[in-house]
């Protein structure tokens, strides 16, 4: 008895040491031998912990040990969840296999191992449509390896965006620069700003990711209890975050001035531009997360379960997110009434595009007509809203990151507030925004500019089942429609085109994704463009988020410019 | 006064007169254009379209072309141009893609003439043919350029740039059929108006959009372009490939560029963002604008020289809703304010000095040190005799070299390399460093280390030999004299020592000046002062005198008497350095050997001259009991560090700071520490002691310093085969799928340190190459190159 006690004490000490040894960064190396040794260390730690837990279980222990047991079990489970993620999502085959092997080992020792919840990275897109890790081609593999090396994970957003590798490359490069490269803000500030921005849209996915990152770069866990625990400087940013997320047209140079002239808590211009870029980036990324129904990461809460699979082979969560019914629904919707319907939709859309192309010169709308079309579209966009108005109360842990939850886009639309018109010809990204960003935060202007260009010009000349289609008109309509919702007007655009090309269900989707992303439902996602491929819907989402980011940036940068002149 | 001055220029009969003036517009302007008679200017913007007459004292509104009740986007002008042949003809480019022509000769109130609605996107620029009356060119956001014949209802020809938006189009002034267009993607295209199928020539001029271009009014093939990349470039288009002649770097993106009439190398620019001024540049002097107009409060959107043959009047429109006429003679000239002198120390104390030639020439006549042992070398910038130009500054460069050997900084390099700063117990570090210093003949420094060790380490551990040694050699100028019972007086004592040394430095420089030999007091000079060679003669006498007087003194008396020791030669009070040292027991023995030992060992303090002239002090065992905590000395040590830093020996200051760490850090303010660190790091880097400098950065506790090696740690490499940047990995090229960095010895991929020969560019693993070159001097790749490894 005494002997075993003794032994236990020893292992506990070993464990405590082992705690500090769990390092995942070795796995991000591109050198396979480094990865192998890192994995080996991890394996030993995991097995040691498992052993220890087992022995504790066997030797009936005193209640005082219960607590420490629970703690160590919790730690082990975290490790196992991370290993599970690696076994599924690591771009390196050796790591995937080895992690799975470790998990099996652990299972054989009688410890319950986790399994992923849900099916695949997106709740809206069937897993089989999405590229499997391991089956990517060389270019994508390079992208994955990059992403993994930078972040130590391959997140679901990346896996969905990889439908469009050209864009993904630019996206990852920009994000990496914003979060990890030289910049005026300290690393933990950057992640915290990301959390603030994502929390504005109650995007628990992004918040969870960045809480981990925030702690990883040495952020103070106290800040996570709410914005009021963060430094005054970050608290001051809250107001800008709020306005930028929901009503960017209200940003004035006074907002900027308040941030820049707050004595010891004041921001420098460079810091402010960095923060603004981060805020807009994460606002639009939240849109993407909801717009494509990104599932929680495997290693985060809600991404895995330790429960054994139920008889029916999927658990409650799968039912609620509707993932299990994907196949059936497709069969039913594609098989019956709607198939002719939706095919007709595509045909009609193409016909309209053709007509617009040809008839453009014939009937020339008068100037007033053009002006009023913009106003009509703008006004209408405010009333385009999904009928289901379920008030989703934000999860507690997220709401604490921002105050004033009631402040949202909808407030103003209900009251029909007037949105002043912002003319692109007077302040545009290419001429003005770019110069300002690049001046204050070098290189980022270039990166964002590239990203905008790729998103705007991306096309495969296909539409659903049709090939060789010039989609530029459709893309421009989507882009300008989003800007129109933010009151941004292009003098040289006939807003009548929007009405012709975008049907109501599509407008509802766009509007919801851009303005109140947290309210997007699978039904909305399914009900627009029914015959289009998932990759095309993701493409639409890319357009949405980039257009939104540009709109927010334009307003914020214009305010900064006004402050500077 | 000057601003009010009037300028009258005679230009073939019709004289231009006027002054610097401005008038308020009702709305921001987007573009301006001048009538060919130079008496009228048209201003266009989103909600303004007016013609002003330029009178002598003011602008007078002549005509408002914005008629009609309903605001139309056709009137929202992005650009406006006035025909240079026909003073009734104007054209505007609208933001909605419409090109409008205006005929001022129409009798009705509405002067609108023709409407071309062929462009799908905003038209950025319109341009009339310089000699042809009816030809108009437009460039639009949709990527097309269209040529209109005003006698017809629609365009004559359409030119497709096959790329992004057109930002500017300009007809060549000399070549009848040629026009240039600039694009958002950075390209410039040259077109023949008769051949709409493809462009004659295309080249990439800028990184990012090219906002504007302008043909030189006289030089046939010169085209100036301005872009978002903040550059103005001048291209020679006459050669087969467009050749970049000049490049001016501005501080903001360049929105407009216009050659200045009658001045071959001048051009005016204005910016689109942030910067509100208008600059006139001499393209041969690209760093300082020749003139600057600062009237506008918001970005300038349009500039135009008033008359094609008059260089002194510039008109401008701005987003701040004003129209200005600038007079060249009223411009501020940054060159005048610039300080054209430059002064820089070389690594080994050489001094380079550049100044305006006139200034130097005047000075050099009465230069006192010419022909001395420091040799001034005289450089003169060669001027191109083909282009005599008065505005260009010419300067002369003088280099003063220090006498060979005199300013050797070897001690610095050696010290830096050999010092140990961390990783061992404090005592060992101090001993090691003392040893290093002593071996380099820097005895005072050595002694300082020893003293530090004594202060901060437990006394029993002092190795005797070391102490003996250092104290025994003593320092020539320090005259260590110690009274351990008078510790209270140490601080002032040291202070006076500082003063002493400083004044000695002064003396030294005086001496040098008297010699008329040196204009420089550099670190080395100061160092020499500290060293043993220079002032020995008179100090020695002094020391000997002291010894006689001091010897019989009781420690209690020693101090009060100190002020009396005066160096007659130097005419300032010289106090002896007071060194805090409880010395080791062996020391006493040492003293016993000394012939000068007096009987007062019991007094615990005594002065022991060793050999010729060095004084030395020792303390008995008894002192250890009354040992003071190291904290007591920290003030003193800090003073000492400041002293060294002031002496120019920042190396010592930083080294001690690092070695002592927490023990003294709190007593010196952050800023001073940071200053020392940065100076030392700077010095180390100038001597290319990268490793040492990095170690110092790493060991520093100052936030600002330690982040120095956290920033910009990315290294970009290009593939050795295809010369493309390797973005993802350092050793495999994505494009040509080859391993770029192979070791020439083992033929494996190098993933860590890669060393290569700069001659033949072969290389490999550091270890392998080192080993290879030990045995062979030829390149391991077999290319026959004789590689050198140093």
Give residue-wise pLDDT tens across range B228-244: 999 999 999 888 888 89
Give A524: exposed, middle or buried? Use CB within 10 Å, 0-12, 13-18, 19+. Answer: buried
**pLDDT grade, residue A312 (50/70/90)?**
very low
- Distance separating alpha carbons of residues A552 and A63, to the nearest angstrom: 56
CA dihedral A134, A138, A144, A145 (to 10 degrees): 100
Q: How far is B289 from chain A (nearest CA, A)?
A: 20
Can you tell me the mean pLDDT for A48-70? 67
Q: Residue A528's pLDDT band (boundaries 50, 70, 90)?
A: confident
Neighboring chain B residues of A364 at a CB cutoff of 8 Å: 117
* For residues B584-590, average pLDDT: 40
Return the structure tokens found at B508. 């030294």
**Which stretch of A183-187, B64-68, B581-585, B711-715 has the lowest confidence by average pLDDT?**
B581-585
Who contacts B469 (Cβ-Cβ below 8 Å, separation ≥6)?
Answer: B438
* pLDDT reported for residue A125: 84
Among residues A203, A292, A300, A484, the one annotated as catalytic is: A203
Query: What domains are defined for chain B?
Result: 21-336 (2.130.10.10), 338-361+395-401 (no CATH), 420-455+631-711 (no CATH)
Choice among A503-512, B231-240, B383-392 with the minimum mean pLDDT: B383-392
Confidence (pLDDT) at A98: 85
* pLDDT-above-90 percentage for chain B: 19
pLDDT band at B344 (very low <50, low <70, confident <90, very high): confident
Tell me the C-alpha distance between B745 and B769, whole Å. 7
Question: What is the reported pLDDT for A392?
Answer: 41
**Which has more pLDDT, A342 or B679?**
B679
A360/B276 CB distance under 8 A: no
**What is the spatial distance between Cα A490 and Cα B570, in angstroms, rounded to a whole number?**
83
Q: Could B46 and A30 be called an inter-chain contact, meaning their C-beta atoms sit closer than 8 Å? A: no
Residue A31: its chain B contacts at CB < 8 A? 751
Query: What pLDDT score was predicted for residue A15?
Result: 39
Q: Tokens at residue B20, please?
A: 């610097």
HSE-up (13 A, CA, CB side) for residue B328: 22
Mean of pLDDT values over B485-492? 39
Give the best-scoring range by mean pLDDT among A132-141, B537-546, B556-565. A132-141
User: Looking at beta carbons, which residues of chain A come within 8 Å of B119?
Assistant: 492
| Structure confidence at residue A381 (pLDDT) | 66
pLDDT at residue B255 tops 70? yes
Residues in A closer than 8 angstroms to B76, CB to CB, are 425, 491
Find the mean pLDDT for residues A465-471: 83
Collect all residues of chain B within an 8 Å Cβ-Cβ radius of residue A436: 273-274
Average pLDDT of chain A is 77
Q: What was the pLDDT predicted at A276?
A: 94
The H-or-E segment that residue A503 falls in is: none
Q: What is the pLDDT of residue B335?
A: 79
Residue in B74, B120, B208 closest to A367 by CB = B74
Question: Would you place residue A57 in the very low, low, confident or very high pLDDT band (cuts 50, 70, 90)?
Answer: low
Could you tell me the pLDDT band of residue B166, with boundaries at 50, 70 and 90? very high
Top-ranked range on mean pLDDT: pick from A351-360, B67-76, B116-125, B658-667: B116-125
Q: SS3 for A556? A: helix
pLDDT, tens only, A399-446: 555 555 555 554 444 445 566 788 888 898 988 999 899 888 888 999
A431 has a chain B CB within 8 A of its CB? yes
Q: Is A203 a catalytic residue?
A: yes
Cβ contact A31–B97 (<8 Å): no
The predicted-structure confidence for A103-115, as pLDDT tens digits, reads as follows: 888 888 777 777 7
| ipTM, two decimals | 0.76
Higher pLDDT, A339 or B658: B658
> B59-69 as b/e, with b when 16 or more CB fall inside 10 Å?
beeebebbeee
Structural contact between residues B174 and B220, judged by C-beta atoms closer than 8 angstroms: yes
> With pLDDT > 70 as the criterion, what percentage of chain A qualifies?
76
Residues in chain A: 565
Residues of A in contact with B95 (CB under 8 A): 423, 425, 491-492
Q: Judge contact between B171 and B163, C-beta under 8 A.
A: no
Cβ-based contacts of B208 with chain A (< 8 Å): 434, 446, 449
B282-309 per-position pLDDT tens digit: 998 888 898 999 889 888 999 999 988 8
Could B273 and A435 be called an inter-chain contact, meaning their C-beta atoms sit closer than 8 Å? yes
CB of B704 less than 8 A from some CB of A? no
Lowest mean pLDDT segment, chosen from A128-137, A361-370, B65-74, B448-457: A361-370
Nearest to B181 by CA among B162, B161, B164: B161
Residue tagged 């998990």 (tokens): A103
- Closest to B141 (Cβ–Cβ): which among A371, A423, A492? A492
- Paired residues of B234 in beta bridges: B224, B246
Burial B489-526 (b: 16+ CB within 10 A, else e): ebeebbebbbebbebbbebbbeeeeeeeebbbbbbbbb
Q: How far apart are CA B427 and CA B126, in angstroms?
A: 81
Q: What angle do CA A246, A248, A253 make, to 5 degrees?
A: 140
Q: How confident is the model at residue B609 (pLDDT cuts 50, 70, 90)?
A: very low
Chain A residues lying within 8 Å of B729, measured CB to CB? 30
Neighbours of A99 (CB within 10 A): 25
- For residue A549, what pLDDT is reported? 94
For residue B752, give the chain A residue with the closest CA: A31
3-state SS string over B415-460? HHHHCCCCCCCHHHHHHHHHHHHHHCCCHHHHHHHHHHHHHHCCHH
Determine the 3-state secondary structure of B255 from DSSP.
strand
pLDDT band at B361 (very low <50, low <70, confident <90, very high): low
Look at A439 and B274 and tell me if their CB atoms are within 8 Å: yes
For testing contact with chain A, the best of B96, B116, B165, B751 (most A CBs within 10 A): B96
Q: How many CA atoms lie within 13 A of A479 on its CB side?
A: 21
The CA distance from A482 to the nearest CA of chain B, in Å, is 19
A329 at interface of B, judged by CB pairs closer than 8 A? no
pLDDT in tens, A173-229: 999 899 888 888 988 899 999 999 988 888 888 888 888 888 888 888 888 888 888
Residue B655 sits at φ, ψ, to 5 deg, of -60, -45
Say if residue B125's pLDDT is above 60.
yes
Nearest-angstrom CA–CA distance, B360 and B378: 10
Alpha carbons within 13 A on the beta-carbon side of A3:
0
Q: What is the pairing mode between strands B40-44 and B31-34?
A: antiparallel
B161-166 long-range contacts, Cβ below 8 Å, gap at least 24? Answer: B161/B187, B161/B189, B161/B199, B163/B187, B165/B121, B165/B124, B165/B140, B165/B141, B166/B124, B166/B125, B166/B139, B166/B140, B166/B141
| Interface with B, mutate which of A435, A436, A442, A490 (most B CBs under 10 A) | A435
What counts of helices (H) and strands (E) characterise chain B?
Answer: 18, 40
Selecting from B97, B209, B274 the residue whose C-beta is nearest the C-beta of A430 gives B209
The sign of the torsion formed by the CA atoms of B677, B679, B685, B687 equals negative
Answer whether B477's CB lies under 8 Å from B504's CB: yes
> How far is A279 from A241, CA to CA, in rounded Å?
7
Cα A165 to its chain centre, rounded Å, is 16
Half-sphere exposure of residue B710: CA atoms within 13 angstroms, side-chain side: 13
Q: Which residue of A has its CA nearest to B712?
A: A182
Per-residue pLDDT tens digits for B622-677: 444 445 666 777 788 888 888 888 888 888 888 888 888 877 777 788 888 888 88
How far, CA to CA in Å, does A124 sit from each of A118, A130, A276, A522, B669? 11, 11, 30, 6, 60
Q: Mean of the pLDDT values across residues B334-357?
A: 76
Which DSSP string corresponds to A410-463?
Answer: HHHHHHTPPPPPEETTTS-IIIIIHHHHHHHSTTHHHHHHHHHHHHHH---SEE
The total of other beta-carbon atoms located within 10 Å of residue A222's CB is: 9
User: Does residue B595 surpass a pLDDT of 60?
Assistant: no
Chain centre distance of CA B714 = 21
DSSP tag of A393:
P
What pLDDT, in 10s, does the model give residues B28-53?
Answer: 999 999 998 888 999 999 888 999 99
Give which of B711, B713, B703 is closest to A183, Cα–Cα. B711
Integer CA distances (angstroms), A125 to A23, A130, A291, A293, in order: 33, 7, 11, 8
Distance of alpha carbon B449 from alpha carbon B456, whole angstroms? 11
Give first-to-last CA distance, chain A, whole Å. 80
Which chain A residue has its CA at the smallest distance from B709's CA?
A182
Q: For an interface test with B, which of A476, A491, A557 has the most B Cβ atoms less than 10 Å from its Cβ?
A: A491
Give B 727-746 residues with CB within 8 A of chain A.
728-729, 734
DSSP string, B456-496: HS-GGG--HHHHHHHHHH--TTT--B--GGGGGGHHHHHHH
pLDDT at B140: 92
Backbone angles phi, psi at B223, to 5 degrees: -125, 125
Q: Do A561 and B274 touch (CB under 8 A)?
A: yes
Judged against a pLDDT cut of 60, whether residue B483 lies above it is answered with: no
Whole-Å CA distances, A358 to A260, A473, B488:
52, 12, 99
- Measure the N-to-C terminal CA separation of chain B; round to a whole number of Å: 67
Let me know: does A287 contact A516? Beta carbons within 8 Å: no
Candidates A73, A80, A93; CA nearest to A27 is A93
Look at strands B754-756 and B763-765 and give their pairing: antiparallel
- Average the pLDDT over B476-501 and give the result: 39
Q: Closest to B272 (Cβ–Cβ): which among A30, A432, A565?
A: A432
CB interface of B with A, residues 182-241, below 8 Å: 184, 208-209, 211, 228
Phi-psi region of B38 (alpha: psi -120 to 50; beta: other; left: phi over 0): left
Share of chain A above pLDDT 90, in %: 15
pLDDT at residue A418, as a whole number: 64
pLDDT at residue B179 is higher than 80: yes
Q: Which contiguous run of DSSP H or E holds residue A516?
A: none
Tell me if A529 sits within 8 A of A506, measured CB to CB: yes
Contact criterion met (CB < 8 Å) for A425 and B72? no
Asked if B272 and A435 come within 8 Å (Cβ–Cβ), the reply is yes
Strands (E), B199-250: 201-204, 210-215, 222-227, 231-236, 243-249
């Amino acid at each position: 008895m005494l002997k075993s006690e003794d032994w236990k004490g020893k292992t506990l000490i070993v464990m405590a040491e082992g705690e500090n040894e769990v390092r995942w960064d070795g796995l991000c190396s591109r050198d396979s031998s480094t990865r192998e040794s890192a994995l080996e260390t991890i394996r030993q730690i995991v097995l040691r912990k498992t052993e220890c837990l087992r022995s504790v279980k066997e030797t009936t222990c005193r209640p005082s040990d219960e607590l420490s047991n629970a703690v160590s079990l919790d730690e082990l489970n975290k490790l196992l969840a991370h290993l599970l993620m690696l076994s599924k999502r690591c771009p390196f085959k050796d790591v995937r296999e080895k992690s799975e092997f470790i998990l099996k080992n652990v299972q054989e020792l009688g410890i319950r191992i986790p399994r992923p919840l849900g099916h695949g990275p997106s709740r809206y897109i069937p897993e089989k449509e999405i590229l499997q890790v391991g089956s990517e081609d060389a270019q994508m593999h390079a992208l994955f390896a990059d992403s993994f090396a930078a972040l130590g994970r391959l997140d679901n957003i990346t896996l969905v965006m990889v439908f469009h590798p050209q864009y993904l490359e630019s996206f990852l490069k920009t994000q990496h620069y914003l979060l990890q490269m030289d910049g005026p803000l300290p690393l933990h500030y950057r992640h915290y700003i990301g959390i603030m921005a994502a929390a504005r849209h109650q995007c628990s996915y992004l918040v969870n990711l960045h809480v981990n990152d925030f702690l990883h770069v040495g952020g103070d866990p106290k800040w996570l209890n709410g914005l009021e625990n963060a430094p005054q400087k970050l608290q001051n940013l809250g107001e800008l975050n709020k306005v930028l997320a929901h009503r960017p047209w209200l940003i004035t140079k006074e907002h900027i001035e308040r941030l820049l002239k707050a004595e010891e808590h004041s921001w420098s211009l460079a810091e402010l531009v960095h923060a603004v870029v981060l805020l807009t980036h994460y606002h639009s990324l939240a849109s993407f997360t909801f717009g494509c129904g990104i599932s929680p990461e495997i290693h985060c809460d809600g991404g895995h379960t330790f429960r054994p699979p139920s008889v029916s082979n999927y658990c409650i969560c799968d039912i609620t997110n509707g993932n299990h019914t994907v196949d059936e629904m497709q069969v039913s919707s594609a098989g019956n009434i709607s198939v002719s319907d939706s095919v007709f939709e595509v045909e009609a859309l193409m016909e309209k595009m053709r007509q617009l192309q040809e008839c453009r010169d014939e009937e020339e709308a008068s100037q007033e007509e053009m002006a009023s079309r913009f106003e009509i579209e703008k006004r209408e966009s405010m009333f385009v809203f999904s009928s289901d108005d379920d008030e989703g109360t934000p999860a507690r842990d997220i709401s604490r990151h921002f105050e004033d939850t009631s402040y949202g886009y909808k407030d103003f639309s209900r009251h029909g507030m007037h949105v002043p018109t912002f003319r692109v010809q007077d302040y545009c990204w290419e001429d003005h925004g770019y110069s300002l960003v690049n001046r204050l935060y070098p290189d980022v202007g270039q990166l964002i500019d590239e990203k905008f260009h790729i998103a705007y010009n991306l096309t495969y000349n296909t539409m659903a089942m049709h090939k060789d289609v010039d989609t530029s008109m459709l893309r421009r309509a989507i882009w300008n429609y989003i800007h129109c919702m933010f009151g941004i007007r292009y003098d040289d655009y006939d807003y009548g085109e929007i009405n012709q090309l975008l049907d109501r269900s599509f407008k509802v989707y766009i509007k919801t994704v851009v303005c109140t992303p947290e309210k997007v439902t699978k039904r909305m996602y399914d009900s627009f463009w029914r015959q289009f491929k998932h990759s095309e819907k993701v493409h639409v989402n890319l357009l949405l988020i980039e257009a939104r980011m540009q709109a927010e940036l334009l307003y914020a940068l214009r305010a900064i410019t006004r402050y500077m002149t | 006064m000057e601003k009010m001055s009037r300028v009258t220029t005679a230009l073939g009969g019709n004289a231009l007169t006027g002054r610097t003036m401005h008038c308020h517009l009702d709305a921001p302007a987007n573009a301006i254009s001048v009538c060919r008679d130079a008496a009228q200017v048209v201003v266009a913007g989103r909600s303004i379209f007016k013609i002003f007459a330029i009178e002598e004292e003011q602008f007078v509104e002549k005509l408002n072309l914005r008629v009609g009740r309903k605001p139309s986007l056709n009137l929202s002008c992005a650009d406006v141009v006035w025909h240079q042949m026909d003073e009734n003809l104007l054209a505007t480019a609208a933001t909605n893609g419409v090109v409008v022509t205006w005929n001022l000769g129409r009798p009705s109130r509405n002067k609108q003439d023709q409407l071309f609605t062929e462009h799908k996107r905003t038209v950025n620029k319109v341009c009339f043919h310089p000699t042809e009356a009816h030809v108009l060119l437009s460039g639009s956001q949709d990527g097309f350029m269209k040529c209109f014949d005003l006698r017809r209802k629609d365009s004559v020809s359409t030119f497709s740039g096959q790329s992004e938006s057109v930002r500017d189009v300009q007809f060549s002034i000399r070549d009848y059929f040629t026009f240039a267009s600039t694009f958002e993607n950075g390209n410039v295209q040259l077109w023949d108006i008769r051949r709409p199928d493809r462009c004659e020539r295309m080249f990439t001029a800028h990184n990012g959009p090219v906002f504007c271009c302008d043909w030189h009014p006289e030089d046939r093939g010169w085209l100036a372009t301005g872009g978002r990349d903040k550059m103005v470039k001048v291209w020679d288009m006459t050669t087969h490939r467009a050749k970049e002649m000049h490049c001016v770097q501005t501080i903001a993106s360049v929105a407009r560029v216009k050659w200045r009439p009658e001045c071959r190398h001048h051009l005016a620019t204005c910016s689109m963002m942030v910067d509100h001024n208008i600059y006139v540049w001499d393209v041969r002097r690209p760093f300082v604008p020749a003139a600057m107009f600062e009237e506008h409060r918001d970005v300038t959107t349009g500039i135009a020289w008033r008359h094609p043959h008059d260089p002194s009047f510039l008109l401008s429109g701005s987003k701040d809703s004003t129209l200005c006429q600038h007079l060249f003679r009223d411009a501020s000239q940054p060159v005048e304010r610039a300080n054209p002198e430059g002064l820089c120390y070389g690594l080994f104390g050489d001094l380079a000095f550049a100044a305006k030639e006139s200034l130097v020439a005047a000075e050099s006549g009465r230069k006192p040190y010419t022909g001395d042992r420091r040799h001034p070398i005289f450089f003169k910038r060669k001027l191109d005799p083909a282009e005599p130009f008065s505005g260009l500054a010419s300067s002369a460069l003088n280099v003063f070299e220090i006498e060979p050997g005199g300013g050797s900084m070897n001690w610095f390099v050696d010290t830096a390399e050999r010092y140990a700063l961390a990783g061992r117990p404090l005592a060992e570090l101090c001993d090691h460093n003392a040893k290093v210093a002593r071996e380099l003949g820097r005895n005072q420094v050595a002694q300082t280390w020893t003293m530090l060790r004594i202060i901060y380490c437990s006394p029993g551990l002092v190795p005797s030999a070391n102490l003996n040694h250092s104290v025994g050699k003593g320092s020539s100028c320090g005259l260590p004299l110690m009274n351990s019972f008078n510790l209270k007086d140490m601080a002032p004592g040291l202070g006076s020592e500082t003063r002493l040394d400083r004044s000695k430095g002064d003396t030294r420089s005086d001496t040098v000046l008297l010699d008329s030999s040196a204009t420089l007091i550099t670190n080395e000079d100061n160092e020499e002062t500290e060293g043993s060679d220079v002032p020995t003669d008179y100090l020695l006498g002094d020391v000997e005198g002291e010894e006689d007087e001091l010897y019989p003194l009781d420690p209690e008396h020693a101090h009060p008497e100190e002020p009396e020791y005066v160096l007659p030669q130097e005419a300032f009070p010289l106090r002896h350095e007071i060194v805090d040292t409880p010395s080791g027991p062996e020391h006493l023995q040492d003293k016993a050997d000394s012939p000068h030992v007096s009987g007062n060992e019991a007094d615990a303090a005594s002065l022991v001259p060793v050999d010729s002239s060095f004084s030395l002090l020792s303390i008995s065992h008894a002192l250890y009991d009354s040992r003071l905590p190291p904290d007591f000395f920290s003030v003193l040590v800090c003073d000492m560090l400041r002293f060294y830093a002031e002496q120019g020996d920042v190396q010592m200051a930083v080294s001690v700071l690092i070695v002592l760490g927490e023990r003294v850090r709190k007593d010196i303010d952050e800023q001073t520490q940071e200053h020392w660190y940065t100076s030392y790091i700077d010095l180390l880097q100038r001597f290319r002691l990268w490793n040492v400098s990095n170690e110092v950065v790493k060991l520093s506790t100052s936030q600002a310093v330690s982040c120095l090696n956290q920033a910009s740690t990315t290294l970009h490499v290009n593939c050795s085969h295809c010369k493309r940047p390797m973005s993802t990995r350092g050793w495999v090229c994505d494009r040509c799928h080859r391993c770029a960095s192979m070791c020439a010895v083992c033929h494996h991929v190098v993933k860590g340190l890669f060393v290569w020969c700069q001659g033949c560019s072969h290389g490999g693993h550091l270890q392998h190459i080192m080993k290879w070159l030990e045995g062979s001097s030829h390149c391991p790749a077999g290319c026959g190159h004789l590689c050198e490894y140093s």
